[in-house]
Amino acid sequence: MVDGVFSMDGDRADLKGLAALAEQYDAWLMVDDAHGFGVLGERGAGLCEAEELDTGQVPILMATLGKAVGVSGAFVAGSHALVETLIQRARSYIFTTAAPPALSAAVIKSLELIESEAWRRDKLQTLIAYLREQAQAKGIELMPSDTPIQPLVVGDNERARRISEALFEKGLLVPAIRPPTVPEGTARLRITLSAAHETGDIDRLLEALAPLLDATEDESPAT
């Protein structure tokens, strides 16, 4: 089992390598593509589509409907036998109330938009490249990532918290991610882009962020 796109680093899993291992050891590969579905692939089907992997190589695919799809809930996709087994045997599912029809209609419409409006993914990739270029120009070192998750490692927990709160006061939501969510000493600001952003939003973020990084660089955790 593996994430398609890792939520705290923004990097992609080596699905082709994992699929080869699964085939070698007669195992099933399950991918949680919460952060790739709707964003990656020609039709937005996620990392499996981007890596050209089929259902034989990835028998179990799951993803949330609350991120790129913009609604709520999640799904598990696989063979008919797998789906029926989960419906009949998954303890957490047996007494679950069915999703309302309005939610299902919204999901169907979202999927239509994801598949047909590739310009959203194209715009997102343009924004990612712009953020990374402008951050580098200002001496802000982001973690390696070509996905909408663009983390900036700060290191100290309190420093990350202070910067996040200062950005929030300026109307910018950039959560501080601290241990145990990430390893000790790697507290970070988790910058996340969407197709609803514009380059002006990125400029505003970096203009606010650069002086905060400079101002807090030498402060102790107690300040």
Q: Which of 7, 110, 194, 197 is catalytic?
A: 7
Largest CA distance in the chain: 58
Separation of alpha carbons 61 and 16, rounded Å = 14
Same domain, 109 and 20: yes
Please, is 136 exposed, middle or buried when counting C-beta atoms within 10 Å of its C-beta (0-12, 13-18, 19+)?
A: exposed
12-58: pLDDT as tens digits: 999 999 999 999 999 999 999 999 999 999 999 999 999 999 999 99
pLDDT digits (tens, 9 = 90+) for 151-174: 999 999 999 999 999 999 999 999
223 within a domain of the structure (yes/no): no
In the predicted structure, residue 222 carries a pLDDT above the cut 50: no
Could you tell me if 33 and 135 lie in one domain? no
Tell whether 221 is covered by a domain.
no
* Same domain, residue pair 70 and 166: no
Statement to judge: residues 152 and 200 lie in one domain: yes
Among the candidates 91, 115, 139, a domain finishes at 115
216 has pLDDT over 70: no
* pLDDT at 110 (0 to 100): 96
- Of 56, 85, 115, which one is at a domain's C-terminal end? 115
**What does the pLDDT read at residue 221?**
41
- Report how far Cα 70 is from the mean position of its chain's Cα atoms: 13
pLDDT above 90 for 60:
yes
- 110 shares its domain with 129: no
Residue 109 sits in the same domain as residue 172: no
Q: How far apart are CA 90 and CA 86, in angstroms?
A: 5
Structural domain span for residue 28: 2-115
CATH of the domain at 170: 3.90.1150.10
Same domain, 91 and 153: no
Say how many C-beta atoms besides its own lie within 10 A of residue 123's C-beta.
Answer: 17
- Note whether residue 12 is domain-resident: yes
Which carries the bigger pLDDT value, residue 215 or residue 111? Answer: 111
**Shared-domain flag, residues 98 and 173:** no
Evaluate if residue 147 carries a pLDDT over 70.
yes
The Cα–Cα gap between 66 and 182 comes to 23
Determine the pLDDT at residue 65. Answer: 96
Alpha carbons 68 and 147: distance in angstroms, whole number: 13
Backbone angles phi, psi at 72, to 5 degrees: -160, 165
Q: Are residues 60 and 106 in the same domain?
A: yes
Residue 88 forms part of a structural domain = yes
Q: Which of 76, 91, 115 is the last residue of a domain?
A: 115
Annotated active-site residue 80? The verdict is: no
Of all residues in the chain, the percent with pLDDT exceeding 70 is 96
**3-state SS, one letter per residue, for 144-196:** CCCCCEEEEEEECHHHHHHHHHHHHHCCCCCCEECCCCCCCCCEEEEEECCCC
- Give the C-alpha separation, 185 to 207, whole Å: 26
Task: Name the catalytic one among 16, 35, 92, 116.
Answer: 35
pLDDT value at 219 more than 70 = no
Per-residue model confidence (pLDDT) at position 92: 84
Q: Contact, 29 vs 60, CB < 8 A?
A: yes
Give yes or no: residues 159 and 188 share one domain. Answer: yes
Q: Is the pTM of this model over 0.85?
A: yes
Residues 84 and 24 in one domain: yes
Q: Per the domain annotation, does 163 fall within a domain?
A: yes
Instruction: Specify whether 80 is located in the same domain as 178.
Output: no
